[in-house]
Amino acid sequence: MSGPRGALATSLAVLLLALGGCGEDGGGSDAGGADTATEAEAPSTDEFIEQGDEICMEFDEVQEELEADIEAAGNDTDELAALFEEFADEAESTADELEELGAPEGQEDEVEEYISDSREQIDQLRDAGEALADGDTERFTSIVEEGEAKGDELQEQAEAIGFQECGDDSS
């Protein structure tokens, strides 16, 4: 990969931060989606936010570790691609956990959209890793730019739902 070592690491960090700290995915949502858990007993809004933010705090810890690993990988595109895949797997697990909570009554559509959009961004993360593995810096840069816009949108959605940690991009 061409370009200064710091520029690649910075681009990666920007993409990771754009992921917003919670609820991203890498594809593979079942057709039932968030409705599976909400049919049983929907959590209250306070319970949902508390449990969701706890899930996001756990994800934030993993994100911090991966950011350090990415910084340490420098321009090793194979290592970076593997780290992107690992990050996508962790994000997908987080999205699954949020989905399993079910949505509070009256917020089903907002939560389903948040999780769906998160899964789209996880796909972007996987695509960015593939672009790195292929040495395609132009495609990687394009994906990073798209990821930044999607990250902003996800942050707004998380805040509108009421999350404190999931919508916090300061981690």
pLDDT at 151: 85
pLDDT at 40: 62
pTM as predicted = 0.77
Give DSSP secondary structure letters for 146-170: HHHHHHHHHHHHHHHHT-SSTT---
Q: For residue 68, how many other CB atoms are within 10 A of its CB?
A: 10
Angle between helices 45-73 and 5-18 (to 10 degrees): 170
Kindly give, in sequence order, each residue whose CB lies less than 8 Å from that of residue 72, ignoring residues fewer than 6 positions away.
none
**Amino acid identity at 54:** E
- Three-state secondary structure call for residue 136: coil
CA quadruple 47, 48, 50, 54: dihedral, nearest 10: 140
pLDDT at 137: 87
* Parts of the chain with a pLDDT under 70: 1-40, 167-171
**Pair of tokens at residue 14:** 């920007």
Task: For residue 111, give the nearest of 168, 165, 52 by alpha carbon.
Answer: 52
Q: How deeply is 1 buried, as exposed, middle or buried, from its count of CB atoms within 10 A (0-12, 13-18, 19+)?
A: middle
pLDDT at 148: 83
**Pair of tokens at residue 92:** 């997908």
pLDDT at 51: 95
pLDDT tens track for 153-167? 999 999 999 998 886
Task: For residue 52, give the nearest of 137, 3, 110, 120 by alpha carbon.
Answer: 110
pLDDT at 23: 40
pLDDT at 4: 37
